[in-house]
């Protein structure tokens, strides 16, 4: 009996201080040392102390690593599609984090042996820690204890500062080298799942890696503008959390998310006329995880999933990693052409294939900027119901409307029987808090919750607390209004710039909301190749091919207007217009038809038509 | 030994280069070297002068790092470096120069014509297109003269597709070439020092064989190493590759791409600094030859330091 109790206790202790990953590490360590598990109670106590100490060191290590991972990611991450290199590094860091507990096991055991000899009375940790709490900073306990054995003369504050200084010193080379062994991909190649072969990057994705250069005006991003969020308000909310709810905000939370977070979600959905049952909601780590969880729940390899053409570029890797057979249905200025969808569904039925779901961004679509018309929405919902197919409505931008009349979400039209709804705080508050959600019928939700549990147990409690504080101030709608004002201006600037600088043969959508404009060029211009030329002029966009699974979209580009200021928008569009004009002129020279690459003199002709010719 | 790993830079292949570099750094570290990682920028010379590495490991691809520019600087600073010399890099990078050298050496390379933009803009070269299309036949291949990977390479199946392909190719370079399409198996021979490594074959898995980009897309191409070749084919292919390597003046390593047609091998181009990522062909070929990645890196380093005995 004794051994298993020992293991369980240690695992439990580990979990008290740190995430589940480490509990596993401690348990493994226990099994690896059968003789220790037979120890008497005293030894067991000491072991607990070691484990606690161990956990805290581990935590300190994490602190040290995090800025590096973040910096590396930030250095390259322009967009959800953009930077492969950052992605690579990000995952490398993740790899290290995952392997760390095991790697450190051996080294730390040796350390403990040494400590034990010098501190028979339970070690200096407890003694030093207790004495230093007089400064009234109970929250510093963890960090303090990490260094206490070495730094008994310092007070808690100094230690905290010291820890942060450590964290901020960039030592990427050194840090990476200490983990060199874990990066050795070829040693693991034989172990990789088959799905990783479809997770490889393309040359175009590599090209996007260099859009992160500081001198490049990037219209390739998809970033909301977080610069107007008042820092004082952020500080006050976080302080309030620290003062009033520190223990809870630092603790695990329910897998489904806090009820209070769901209340905030109900407010946001209510603003668009939706009234879901809170039990149908799960809080996720960003909207992206919601997509992932839906895929995880519904897709077997080879299953058909229907998307719009073009579709959200960030959904493609997710769908591919679950080995879905993605079929895309053309959009026009009124969104997905539901008539074509009907034909497709009939064809698939003929082949005996039933699509698992239809993924749509009906409002201010990413990347096309178009919005599905009401008749199409109604028809889509009818189709879903009559054929019992799920529709996954991804609605990150619904509240960012700059003109026109609000459109009922599919979820509202359907009542939530065949529509799974995905939402996010990313575009109305902050993408950095990584808070999104999914709403699904109970049987589906049950599976999604299991998937979420397996993925990450729960969404960050800290940021859920932040959202709750933020919504308590009852100003969230005003902030959205502010964003709408800013983005409306930027959209207008971009449309104006397109009229001024793009050649007459180009067309583009004029979105009533959202973050993107989709521009289509003459069919002899390939936008992936054009990007190479544009990058020499220090400007970037997302080539249209990123929004298709089959290489289409090569004459189009996605332009973002939310993450750049008016001046950058004008200059960026001017530079792109210039490289396009050069290509148009060159083509004229090559074909003998002299084309004059001048911008349209008529103010209106290029707006909206979502070139159907492109699909020929 | 202090080894500076040069990577990144501003080229279009920055992403691949960073991955090649990171992988080389890890291997060098495991081999016990002192690694100095440099993402190449305007402070390159300053850093090299200050740090005085014993040798530079060049893991850069594309313009700037693979075209002899960085190599020239290293030669001036008298820092030994991996891979071919500045002159050889410049020759390999420019497909027109490379093909000239290959042809001069009496080696078969598909017939081609090269143009710069001025020829079209100012001298009406478009009027000559018809004639050369007749000579080359269809489909033909349009490539930027200097450009890495498959960037900007297009097939034209019909005369009407040529202008469009040219517009794409001119996005990467001011000079492009139109090349006769040769049908056959696509092979790559990596050479290390003076030794050809096992041949790699790129096998297209369905899809449009004339859609060049698709070939590099997800799951479209499978690489077989060693390629299934008869002893005779293998000899012909490796000899042609070695002769090309020498004709271009390569040292250290390079990868020669060629097509094995019915009449034998056709040389296409040489990559002075092939990728070193986990999916790159040179490491795959080395592995097929029984060399681990560390051994490959060590050998590359040896070749840089002792070119004479290599």
Question: Using CA atoms, how far apart are residues A524 and A584, in angstroms rounded to an integer?
Answer: 9
Sheet holding B55-58, edge to edge: B34-39, B2-7, B55-58
pLDDT digits over A25-48, tens only?
A: 333 333 333 344 344 444 445 555
Q: Which of A251, A319, A186, A297 is nearest to A465 (CA)?
A: A251
Q: What is the pLDDT of residue A193?
A: 77
Specify the higher pLDDT residue, A347 or A21: A347
Q: Which two structure tokens, joined as six digits, stand for A604?
A: 């209106």
Residues A454 and A533 occupy one common structural domain = no
Nearest to B167 among A198, A524, A592 (CB): A524
How would residue A604 be classed by pLDDT, with cut points 50, 70 and 90? very low
Specify the higher pLDDT residue, A98 or A454: A454
What residues in B contact A204, CB-CB < 8 Å? Answer: 213
Q: What is the pLDDT of residue A206?
A: 60
Specify the higher pLDDT residue, A385 or B122: A385
Specify the higher pLDDT residue, B11 or A305: A305
Residue B112 φ/ψ, nearest 5 degrees: -155, 165
* Residue A14 predicted with pLDDT over 50: no
What residues in A contact B172, CB-CB < 8 Å? Answer: 529, 532-533
Average pLDDT (A68-81) is: 38
Q: What is the pLDDT of residue B213?
A: 57
Question: Using CA atoms, how far apart are residues A273 and A420, in angstroms rounded to an integer?
Answer: 16
Distance from the first to the final alpha carbon of chain A: 73
A67-76 burial, b if ≥16 CB within 10 A, otherwise e? bbbeebbeeb
Let me know if B121 is a catalytic residue. Answer: no
Residues A449 and A508 occupy one common structural domain = no
Residues A102 and A143 occupy one common structural domain = yes
Average pLDDT (B93-117) is: 94
Q: What is the pLDDT of residue B131?
A: 86
Q: Write down the catalytic residue from B72, B149, B261, B287.
A: B149
Let me know if B234 is a catalytic residue. Answer: no
What residues in A contact B211, CB-CB < 8 Å? Answer: 551
| pTM, full prediction | 0.74
Lowest mean pLDDT among A187-196, B62-71, B115-124: A187-196
Between the CA of residue A616 and those of A425, A603, A613, what are the distances in Å? 39, 27, 6
Nearest to B218 among A85, A181, A198 (CB): A198
**Residue with tokens 């498959």, as numbered in its chain:** B150
Question: Is residue A202 a part of any domain in this protein?
Answer: no
Lowest mean pLDDT among A16-25, A202-211, A269-278: A16-25
Specify the higher pLDDT residue, B129 or A364: A364
What residues in A contact B213, CB-CB < 8 Å? Answer: 202-204, 528, 551
Q: Which two structure tokens, joined as six digits, stand for A353?
A: 């294939």
Lowest mean pLDDT among A90-94, A220-224, A318-322: A90-94
Question: Is residue A114 a part of any domain in this protein?
Answer: yes
Let me know if B66 is a catalytic residue. Answer: no
Q: Which of B232, B305, B295, B303 is nearest to B27 (CA)?
A: B295
CATH code of A371's domain:
3.40.640.10
Chain Cα centroid distance, residue A328: 23
Residues A383 and A353 occupy one common structural domain = yes
Percentage of chain B beyond pLDDT 90 is 70
Lowest mean pLDDT among A211-220, B88-97, B186-195, B211-220: B211-220
What residues in A contact B121, CB-CB < 8 Å? Answer: 586, 589
Determine the residue among B156, B167, B296 to mutate to test chain A binding: the one whose Cβ has the most chain A Cβ atoms within 10 Å.
Answer: B167
Question: Is residue A206 a part of any domain in this protein?
Answer: no
CA distance B162 to chain A (A): 9
Question: Using CA atoms, how far apart are residues B53 and A13, in angstroms rounded to an integer?
Answer: 49
Specify the higher pLDDT residue, A222 or A274: A274
B254, B101 Cβ separation under 8 angstroms? no
| Residue in B closest to A523 by C-alpha | B164
CA distance A61 to chain B (A): 21
- Domain assignment of residue A179, given as a range: 2-192
Interface touch A587/B163, C-beta < 8 Å: yes
> Degrees (nearest 5) of the Cα angle A96, A98, A99?
65
What residues in A contact B163, CB-CB < 8 Å? Answer: 524, 587, 590-591
Q: Write down the catalytic residue from B14, B23, B146, B255.
A: B255
Q: Write down the catalytic residue from B11, B13, B17, B146.
A: B13
Residues A466 and A532 occupy one common structural domain = no
Residues A455 and A589 occupy one common structural domain = no
Q: Beta strand A357-360 with A304-309: parallel, antiparallel or unpaired?
A: parallel
Question: Using CA atoms, how far apart are residues A257 and A254, in angstroms rounded to an integer?
Answer: 5
Between the CA of residue B222 and those of A346, B202, B265, what are the distances in Å? 34, 6, 20
Q: Which two structure tokens, joined as six digits, stand for B31?
A: 């081999």
Q: Number of folded domains in chain A?
A: 3
DSSP reduced 3-state for A291? helix
Q: Which of A561, A557, A551 is nearest to A583 (CA)?
A: A557
CA dihedral of residues A534, A537, A542, A544 (deg, nearest 10): -20
Distance from the first to the final alpha carbon of chain B: 19
Q: What is the pLDDT of residue A260?
A: 97
A245, A382 Cβ separation under 8 angstroms? no
Question: Is residue A146 a part of any domain in this protein?
Answer: yes
* Residue A12 predicted with pLDDT over 60: no
Q: Which of B227, B225, B216, B280 is nearest to B253 (CA)?
A: B280
Specify the higher pLDDT residue, B134 or A174: B134
How would residue A122 be classed by pLDDT, with cut points 50, 70 and 90? very low
* Residue A301 predicted with pLDDT over 50: yes
Determine the residue among A78, A527, A586 to mutate to test chain B binding: the one whose Cβ has the most chain B Cβ atoms within 10 Å.
Answer: A586
A93, A55 Cβ separation under 8 angstroms? no
Question: Is residue A559 a part of any domain in this protein?
Answer: yes
What mean pLDDT is reported for chain A?
75
Interface touch B12/A201, C-beta < 8 Å: no
pLDDT digits over A154-201, tens only?
A: 333 333 333 334 444 444 444 444 333 334 555 566 777 777 766 545
Q: Which of B131, B8, B129, B105 is nearest to B61 (CA)?
A: B8
Let me know if B275 is a catalytic residue. Answer: yes
Question: Is residue A207 a part of any domain in this protein?
Answer: no
How would residue A79 be classed by pLDDT, with cut points 50, 70 and 90? very low
**Residue with tokens 């992206």, as numbered in its chain:** A288
Lowest mean pLDDT among A13-27, A531-545, B13-27, B202-216: A13-27
Residues A273 and A216 occupy one common structural domain = no
CA distance A203 to chain B (A): 7
CATH code of A544's domain:
3.90.1150.10
Q: What is the pLDDT of residue B207?
A: 61
CA distance B308 to chain A (A): 31
Q: What is the pLDDT of residue A240?
A: 95
What mean pLDDT is reported for chain B?
90
Let me know if B210 is a catalytic residue. Answer: no
Dihedral sign, Cα of residue B248, residue B249, residue B255, residue B256: positive
Radius of gyration, alpha carbons of chain A: 27
Let me know if B235 is a catalytic residue. Answer: no
Q: What is the biggest distance separating any 2 CA atoms in chain B, rounded to whole angstroms? A: 60
Interface touch B278/A185, C-beta < 8 Å: yes
Q: Which of B141, B164, B143, B163 is nearest to B152 (CA)?
A: B143
Nearest to B151 among A177, A197, A532 (CB): A532
Domain boundary among A414, A448, A474: A474
- What's the number of CA atoms in the CB half-sphere (13 Å) around residue A196? 10
What residues in B contact A208, CB-CB < 8 Å? Answer: 15
Average pLDDT (B171-183) is: 93
Question: Is residue A168 a part of any domain in this protein?
Answer: yes
Average pLDDT (B211-215) is: 55
pLDDT digits over B221-236, tens only?
A: 788 889 999 999 999 9
Q: Which of A380, A371, A379 is nearest to A333 (CA)?
A: A371
Specify the higher pLDDT residue, A146 or B40: B40
- Taking the domains of chain B in order of start, what are their residue ranges? 2-82, 92-107+183-305, 112-180
Average pLDDT (A280-285) is: 98
Percentage of chain A beyond pLDDT 70 is 63
CATH number of the domain at B112-180, please? 3.30.1490.20
pLDDT digits over B29-45, tens only?
A: 999 999 999 999 999 99
CA distance B208 to chain A (A): 11
Q: Which two structure tokens, joined as six digits, stand for A71?
A: 């910096």
DSSP reduced 3-state for A236? helix
Q: What is the pLDDT of residue A235?
A: 94
Residue B58 φ/ψ, nearest 5 degrees: -90, 110
Percentage of chain B beyond pLDDT 70 is 93
B253, B187 Cβ separation under 8 angstroms? no
Question: Using CA atoms, how far apart are residues B282 and B280, in angstroms rounded to an integer?
Answer: 6
**Cβ contacts of A448 within 8 Å, gap of 6 or more:** A282, A293, A294, A297, A438, A440
A435, A462 Cβ separation under 8 angstroms? no
Specify the higher pLDDT residue, A111 or A357: A357
Let me know if B216 is a catalytic residue. Answer: yes
Q: Beta strand B175-180 with B185-192: parallel, antiparallel or unpaired?
A: unpaired
Average pLDDT (A598-612) is: 42
Interface touch B218/A202, C-beta < 8 Å: yes
**Residue with tokens 């920028």, as numbered in its chain:** B41
pLDDT digits over A308-330, tens only?
A: 999 999 999 899 899 999 999 99
B177-196 burial, b if ≥16 CB within 10 A, otherwise e? bbbbbbeebbbbbbbbeeeb
How would residue B12 be classed by pLDDT, with cut points 50, 70 and 90? confident
Determine the residue among B36, B148, B218, B286 to mutate to test chain A binding: the one whose Cβ has the most chain A Cβ atoms within 10 Å.
Answer: B218
Residues A235 and A335 occupy one common structural domain = yes
Q: What is the pLDDT of residue A153?
A: 38
Lowest mean pLDDT among A145-149, A524-528, B62-66: A145-149
Nearest to A202 among B29, B126, B216 (CB): B216
Residues A63 and A144 occupy one common structural domain = yes
Q: Which two structure tokens, joined as six digits, stand for A93?
A: 């860091």
Residues A453 and A523 occupy one common structural domain = no
Q: What is the pLDDT of residue B212?
A: 57
Sheet holding A435-439, edge to edge: A281-285, A435-439, A419-424, A390-394, A357-360, A304-309, A325-332, A335-336
Q: Which of A293, A283, A288, A307 is nearest to A391 (CA)?
A: A307
Question: Using CA atoms, how far apart are residues A558 and A511, in angstroms rounded to an integer?
Answer: 12
B171, B145 Cβ separation under 8 angstroms? no
Question: Using CA atoms, how far apart are residues A488 and A128, in angstroms rounded to an integer?
Answer: 58
Specify the higher pLDDT residue, A399 or A47: A399
What residues in A contact B12, CB-CB < 8 Å? Answer: 206-207, 210, 532, 535
What topology is assigned to B2-82 in CATH?
Rossmann fold (3.40.50)
Determine the residue among A322, A323, A532, A594 to mutate to test chain B binding: the one whose Cβ has the most chain B Cβ atoms within 10 Å.
Answer: A532
Residues A515 and A461 occupy one common structural domain = no
Q: Does domain B92-107+183-305 bear CATH number 3.90.1150.10? A: no
Question: Is residue A583 a part of any domain in this protein?
Answer: yes
Q: What is the pLDDT of residue B97?
A: 94
Question: What DSSP assignment string belongs to A71-85?
Answer: HHHHHH--STTT-HH
Residues A432 and A521 occupy one common structural domain = no
Specify the higher pLDDT residue, A76 or A473: A473
Residue A188 φ/ψ, nearest 5 degrees: -105, -5
């Amino acid at each position: 009996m004794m051994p298993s109790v020992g293991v369980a206790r240690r695992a439990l202790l580990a979990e008290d201080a740190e995430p589940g990953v480490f509990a596993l590490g401690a348990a493994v360590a226990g099994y690896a040392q059968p003789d220790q598990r037979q120890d008497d109670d005293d030894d067991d106590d000491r072991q607990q102390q070691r484990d606690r100490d161990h956990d805290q060191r581990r935590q300190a290590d994490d602190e040290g690593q995090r800025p590096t991972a973040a910096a590396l990611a930030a250095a390259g991450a322009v967009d959800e599609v953009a930077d492969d290199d950052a992605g690579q590094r990000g995952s490398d860091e993740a790899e290290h984090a995952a392997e760390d507990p095991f790697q450190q096991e051996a080294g730390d055991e040796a350390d403990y042996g040494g400590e034990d000899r010098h501190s028979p009375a339970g070690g200096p940790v407890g003694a030093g820690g207790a004495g230093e709490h007089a400064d009234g900073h109970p929250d510093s306990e963890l960090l303090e204890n990490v260094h206490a054995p070495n730094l008994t003369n310092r007070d808690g504050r100094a230690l905290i500062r010291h820890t942060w200084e450590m964290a901020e010193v960039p030592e990427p080379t050194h840090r990476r080298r200490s983990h060199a062994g874990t990066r050795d991909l070829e040693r693991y190649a034989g172990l990789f799942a088959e799905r990783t072969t479809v997770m490889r990057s393309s040359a175009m994705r590599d090209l996007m890696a260099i859009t992160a250069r500081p001198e490049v005006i990037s219209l390739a991003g998809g970033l909301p503008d977080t610069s107007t969020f008042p820092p004082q308000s952020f500080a006050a909310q976080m302080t309030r959390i620290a003062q009033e709810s520190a223990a809870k905000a630092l603790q695990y939370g329910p897998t489904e998310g806090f009820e209070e977070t769901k209340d905030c979600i109900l407010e946001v959905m209510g603003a668009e006329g939706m009234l879901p049952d809170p039990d149908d909601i799960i809080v996720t780590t960003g909207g992206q995880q919601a997509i992932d969880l839906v895929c995880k729940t519904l897709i077997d390899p080879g299953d058909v999933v229907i998307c719009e053409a073009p579709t959200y570029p960030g959904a493609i890797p997710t769908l591919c990693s679950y080995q879905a057979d993605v079929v895309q249905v053309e959009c026009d200025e009124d969104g997905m052409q539901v008539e074509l969808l009907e034909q497709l569904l009939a064809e698939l039925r003929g082949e005996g294939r039933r699509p698992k779901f239809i993924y749509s961004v009906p409002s201010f679509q990413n990347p096309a900027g178009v919005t599905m018309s009401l008749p199409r929405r109604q028809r889509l919902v009818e189709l879903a119901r009559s054929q019992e197919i799920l529709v996954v409505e991804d609605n990150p931008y619904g509240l960012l409307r700059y003109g026109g009349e609000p459109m009922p979400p599919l979820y509202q039209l359907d009542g939530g029987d065949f529509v799974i709804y995905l939402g996010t705080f990313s575009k109305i508050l902050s993408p950095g808090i990584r808070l999104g959600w999914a709403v699904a019928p109970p049987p589906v939700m049950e599976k999604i919750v299991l998937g979420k549990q397996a993925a990450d147990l729960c969404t960050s409690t800290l940021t859920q607390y932040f959202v709750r504080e933020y919504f308590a101030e009852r100003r969230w709608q005003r902030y959205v209004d502010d964003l709408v004002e800013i983005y409306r201006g930027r959209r207008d600037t971009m449309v104006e710039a397109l009229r001024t600088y793009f050649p007459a043969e180009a067309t583009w959508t004029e979105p009533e909301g959202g973050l993107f404009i989709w521009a289509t060029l003459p069919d002899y211009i390939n936008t992936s190749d054009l990007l190479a030329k544009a990058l020499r002029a220090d400007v970037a966009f997302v080539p249209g091919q990123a929004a298709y699974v089959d290489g289409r979209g090569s004459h189009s580009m996605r332009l973002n207007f939310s993450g750049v200021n008016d001046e950058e928008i004008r200059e960026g569009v001017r530079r792109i217009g210039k490289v396009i004009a050069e290509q148009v002129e060159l083509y004229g020279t090559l074909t003998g038809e002299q084309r004059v690459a001048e911008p349209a003199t008529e103010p209106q002709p290029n707006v909206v038509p979502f070139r159907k010719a492109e699909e020929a | 030994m202090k080894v500076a790993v040069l990577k990144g830079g501003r080229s279009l292949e920055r992403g691949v280069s960073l991955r090649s570099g990171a992988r080389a750094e890890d291997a060098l570290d495991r081999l016990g070297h002192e690694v100095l990682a440099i993402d190449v920028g305007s402070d390159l010379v300053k850093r090299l002068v200050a740090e005085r590495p014993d040798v530079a490991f060049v893991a850069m691809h594309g313009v700037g790092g693979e075209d002899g520019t960085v190599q020239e600087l290293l030669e001036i600073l008298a820092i030994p470096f991996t891979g071919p010399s500045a002159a050889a890099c410049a020759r390999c990078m420019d497909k027109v120069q490379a093909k000239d050298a290959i042809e001069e050496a009496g080696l078969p390379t598909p017939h081609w014509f090269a143009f710069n933009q001025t020829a079209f803009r100012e001298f009406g070269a478009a009027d000559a297109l018809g004639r050369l299309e007749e000579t080359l036949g269809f489909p033909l291949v349009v490539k930027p003269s200097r450009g890495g990977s498959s960037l900007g390479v297009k097939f034209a199946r019909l005369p009407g597709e040529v202008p469009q392909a040219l517009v794409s190719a001119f996005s990467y370079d001011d000079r492009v070439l139109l090349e006769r399409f040769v049908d056959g198996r696509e092979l790559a021979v990596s050479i290390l020092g003076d030794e050809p490594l096992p041949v790699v074959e790129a096998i297209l898995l369905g899809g449009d064989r004339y859609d060049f980009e698709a070939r590099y897309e997800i799951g479209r191409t499978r690489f077989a190493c060693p390629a299934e070749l008869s002893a005779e084919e293998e000899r012909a292919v490796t000899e042609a590759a070695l002769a090309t390597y020498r004709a271009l003046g390569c040292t250290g390593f390079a990868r020669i791409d060629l097509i094995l047609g019915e009449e034998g091998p056709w040389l296409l181009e040489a990559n002075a600094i092939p990728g070193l990522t986990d999916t790159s062909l040179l490491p795959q070929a080395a592995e097929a030859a029984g060399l681990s990645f560390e051994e490959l890196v060590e050998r590359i380093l040896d070749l840089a330091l002792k070119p004479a005995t290599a």
